A and B are shown apart, each in its own frame.
Chain A
Amino acid sequence: MRTTRITAPAALAAVLLVCTTACGGGSSTGGSAQGGPEELTYWASNQGSSLEADQQVLTPELKKFQQQTGIKVKLEVVPWSDLLNRILAAAASGQGPDVLNIGNTWSSSLQATGALRPFDAKAFEAIGGKDRFVASAIGATGAQGKDPAAVPLYSLAYGLYYNKKMFADAGIAEPPATWDELVADGKMLTKDGRYGLAVEGGNPSENVHHAFVLGKQHGADFFDAAGKPDFTTPGAVAAVKQYVDFMAADRIVAPGSAEYAANQAVTDFATGKAAMLLWQAAGSSLKSHGMKPGDYGVARVPMRTKDATGPTAVNSMVAGINLAVFNKTANADGALKFVKFMTGDDEQRILNAAYGSLPPTKAAQSDPAFATPDLKVLADALAHTAAPLPQVADESQFETAVGTAVKDLFADAAAGRPVTTDSVRTALQKAQQQMPAS
């Protein structure tokens, strides 16, 4: 009893001591949009293997910018789990960064909040012109007919990664070009606890990307011409069913991947548990898992037929990261200077090489450094067969609703419940009803 009698007041005293320091340091941070003209705050998304890695990539570049312009950039690398919430909070409060990264699929949704500064003709002039950018990347920067809400920074597209040794062992010479071939190959590759294809069934964004691309191939858009959600067209239902059927009917996907939501699909592919993977620029992740570049090949994502053309010849979404200027910035000129710097050809080469992505500017993309076989496949897709996700204000809700519906369907498939056209349509119907009425 004696000792505790002493510990308690001592603990209280310690706590008090800490508090006094706390109150001193309490309000040191906050809105940075009010920062002086010589300072910018930049929210970068997490592109590298860790937040720290991003700091290491970006810090020297920001130093360069400071040397050129005298503007100091305060960097904050925001994890993906936080980014959208943080942007919403910034939009609601008016306190935020000056320049920020956004997932390019959010462009229209965020555009609707009015939180991002539109890139009008003048702004584009300030950063060197709209023509510098690859057309498809510009297509994913906001709703049609409006000034873009952001400019492309890093571009990505989906490719089919395949394990060369597993293909050779199964006697498959060529990567599949159509989905039928993919399923056939997958069945040959699925044995001894290994599977043909790795998917990320518990991850709504991954799901919605594939549902969208397959939908395009089936001639379905998830929104009608007036921008209203239209999830239950036969094409959309067939697309979602086809994707879930890789697990439910074709059984070329491990049931366990129904709960994957943290890139375990990449791990499965890298460790030889699955022979194929549909992914965007997986190179650096695969390397960090110890898979050598010679061990895998990258091919175009399959289509329904070998010689598909026209509007259904889509095999990737336009993926990537955009750079936006926060509307309430006190330093719009500096922010535009920074955008110009980041999208400049030199920086584009350095940054995209570091992150394994493609530069969305024409000049940088033609650099031989990006002419590796894998990146060429992605660049080709981006140039010819990629479509941006619907550029509508409710895009963010669309991703959540449809992505979650597919996740639930995967859960059904994994639990051995049948996945039928009806059950898919019902799930999509529910998803559509969750969309805002407007």
Chain B
Amino acid sequence: MPDARSPMAPPRSLVWTRRVVLGALTAFALAPVFVMAVSSLKPLQDVQGPFHWLPSHLTLRPYRDIWHTVPLAHYFLNSLIVAAGATVCSVTVAVFAAYAVSRHRFRGRRLFSLTILSTQMFPGILFLLPLFLILVNLGNATGIALYGSRGGLILTYLTFSLPFSVWMLVGYFDSIPRDLDEAALVDGCGPLGALLRVVVPAAVPGIVAVCVYAFMAAWGEVLFASVMTTTATRTLAVGLQGYATQSDVYWNQVMAASLVVSVPVVGGFLLLQRYLVAGLTAGAVK
């Protein structure tokens, strides 16, 4: 995009500062990615000895072995299901709640907003045990196995994704001109129609941003996953520990697996980054 602000070239000192600082930041940001990629192509002896920037010889074996040392594909599927489930649940619920908070005045609105804001500050550790107990008791009472199931894990992930989603979406909805949904209401849409046909389409960037955040947070979560899953439902965050076995830590496989599980989220994130900027501008910032 053409820059309207500086018709003249920026001063040399600025250009050099920029090069140095941005170069250093690039190295900082990418160093682990580099280590991950290089180490995943090394034979096991290489990663057990002193570090070298390049492999003694290239091997793709770690990429073959990762699927056998632990059932990675299975963990992958679990993570996908749990992260997607948590995302969809929290964003769907949040859209309605945020619409109510943004467009309506009602008794308890302030209380609700405060609750949403303050629950975001709660440390996950506070909820771990109580939630565990509640899931167990709820499971015993209803006969639906919640503890150890993917559904139960999705529920616990709402502790962090739901308040954030509501909060972001309230901000985003506030930034959408009221005239839009009022026009829809005048046109004979119900409030729900106005929400689904006018507000939601206008809020797509914000919704996408919230989805990405919720998905990533669930994809990377360790604490709940380590207590609330069984072998059948174990997610990647816990499953990756399986490469450290009784006899060895297969660092080359750890790195290969880390790279493999990162590709989908990083790819999706970078694809959608335009929305993230737009979503954050209006959402978090307002």
Contact = CB atoms under 8 A, between A and B. Distances in A.
Asked whether the complex places CB atoms of A and B closer than 8 A, the reply is yes
Contacts of B84: 15, 18-19, 22
A49 B85 CA distance: 34
Interface in A263-309: 263-264, 266-267, 271, 284-285, 288-289
Contact of B242 (A50, A86, A271): A50
B231 A78 contact: yes
Of A79, A86, A271, A289, chain B has the most CB atoms within 10 Å of the CB of A79
B31 interface: no
Interface string B248-286: 110000000000000000001001101100000000000
A105 to B, nearest CB: 16
15 contacts: A4-B272, A8-B208, A12-B211, A18-B84, A22-B81, A27-B151, A28-B150, A31-B147, A82-B241, A93-B132, A94-B136, A264-B249, A267-B48, A285-B246, A288-B248
A16 interface: yes
A31 B148 contact: yes
Interface of B: 48, 68-71, 80-82, 84-85, 87-89, 132-133, 136, 139-140, 144-152, 154, 204-205, 207-208, 211, 215, 226-227, 230-233, 238, 241-242, 244-249, 268, 271-272, 274-275
B85 A81 contact: no
A30 B226 contact: no
Interface string A37-64: 0000000001111111000000000000
A85 B274 CA distance: 42
B151 A26 contact: yes
A27 B245 contact: no
Contact of A29 (B80, B82, B232): B232
Nearest to B151: A26
Nearest to A16: B88
A419 to B, nearest CB: 27
Nearest to A85: B227
Nearest to A80: B246
A31 B145 contact: yes
Given A26-B151, A76-B231, A95-B136, A21 B241 contact: no
A78 B231 CA distance: 7
Contacts of B207: 12
A214 B279 CA distance: 62
B249 A263 contact: yes
Contacts of A4: 272, 274-275
A368 interface: no
Given A79-B241, A263-B249, A27 B147 contact: no
Contacts of A81: 241, 244
B138 to A, nearest CB: 11
B232 A28 contact: yes
A79 B132 contact: no
B248 A8 contact: no
A48 B246 contact: yes
Contacts of A15: 84, 87-88, 211, 215
Contact of B204 (A9, A23, A26, A262): A9
Contact of B139 (A30, A85, A264): A30
Contact of A288 (B81, B238, B247): B247
A277 B194 CA distance: 73
B211 A26 contact: no
A19 B132 contact: no
A252 B132 CA distance: 47
Interface in A98-122: none
Contacts of A11: 208, 211, 268, 272
A25 B74 CA distance: 13
A41 to B, nearest CB: 10
Interface residues of A, number: 51
B207 to A, nearest CB: 8
Interface of A: 4, 7-9, 11-12, 15-16, 18-19, 21-23, 25-31, 46-52, 76-82, 85-86, 89, 92-95, 262-264, 266-267, 271, 284-285, 288-289
Nearest to B274: A4
A95 B147 contact: yes
B145 A49 contact: no
Contacts of A7: 271-272
A80 B140 CA distance: 28
Contacts of B48: 267, 271
Of B71, B84, B154, B207, chain A has the most CB atoms within 10 Å of the CB of B84
Contacts of B211: 11-12, 15
Contacts of A80: 246
A27 B238 CA distance: 19
B215 to A, nearest CB: 8
Contacts of B208: 8, 11-12
Contact of B246 (A29, A46, A52, A264): A46
B269 to A, nearest CB: 11
Contact of B85 (A22, A47, A288): A22
Given A93-B147, A266-B247, A284-B247, A29 B132 contact: no
Given A15-B84, A30-B139, A25 B242 contact: no
A49 B68 contact: no
A93 to B, nearest CB: 4
Given A15-B84, A49-B246, 17 more contacts: A18-B80, A18-B84, A19-B88, A22-B81, A22-B85, A22-B150, A27-B145, A27-B150, A28-B150, A46-B245, A49-B248, A50-B69, A50-B242, A79-B241, A81-B244, A95-B148, A266-B247
Contact of A52 (B69, B149, B233, B248): B69
A76 B230 CA distance: 9
A24 to B, nearest CB: 10
A262 B249 contact: yes
Given A15-B211, A49-B247, A29 B85 contact: no
A29 B148 contact: yes
A285 B247 contact: yes
Given A19-B84, A85-B226, A95-B139, A29 B249 contact: no
A203 to B, nearest CB: 12
Given A12-B211, A22-B84, A78-B231, A30 B242 contact: no
B149 A26 contact: yes
Contacts of A76: 230-232
A25 B77 CA distance: 11
Given A21-B81, A92-B136, A93-B147, A49 B245 contact: yes
Nearest to B275: A8
A85 B132 CA distance: 12
Nearest to B241: A81
